[in-house]
């Protein structure tokens, strides 16, 4: 019996949406202003398009995936902690 194939693209979409949600909530909690979730979320949707594009383009090539992971870590470390 063959196990069900693992849908990496779908999992990546879940991770991307979770990241967007987490970053949106974090900003709303840290900045006590009048903006709503719907005001802040588009900012992180756009950022996620850039960050996660590395992973989507690397799904078929393990070497490219390894490069994407390193690039993602470099992008994240340049932005620094959000305090």
Q: What is the pLDDT of residue 83?
A: 42
SS3 assignment, position 79: helix
pLDDT of residue 77: 64
Residue 9: what pLDDT? 84
Predicted TM-score (pTM) of this structure: 0.67
The candidate with the shortest Cα–Cα distance to 59, out of 15, 24, 14, 7, is 7
Domain boundaries, the chain: 8-79
d(CA 67, CA 62) in angstroms, rounded, equals 9
Mean pLDDT per 10-residue segment, the chain (83 residues): 69 94 96 93 95 80 78 69 46
Q: What separation in angstroms does the CA of 1 have from each of 4, 5, 6, 38, 74?
A: 9, 12, 15, 46, 41
């Amino acid at each position: 019996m063959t196990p069900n194939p693992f849908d990496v693209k779908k999992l990546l979409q879940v991770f991307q949406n979770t990241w967007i949600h987490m970053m949106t909530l974090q900003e709303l909690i840290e900045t006590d202003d009048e903006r709503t979730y719907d005001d802040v979320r588009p900012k992180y949707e756009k950022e996620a398009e850039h960050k996660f594009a590395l992973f989507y383009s690397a799904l078929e090539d393990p070497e490219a995936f390894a490069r994407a992971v390193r690039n993602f870590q470099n992008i994240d470390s340049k932005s620094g902690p959000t305090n």
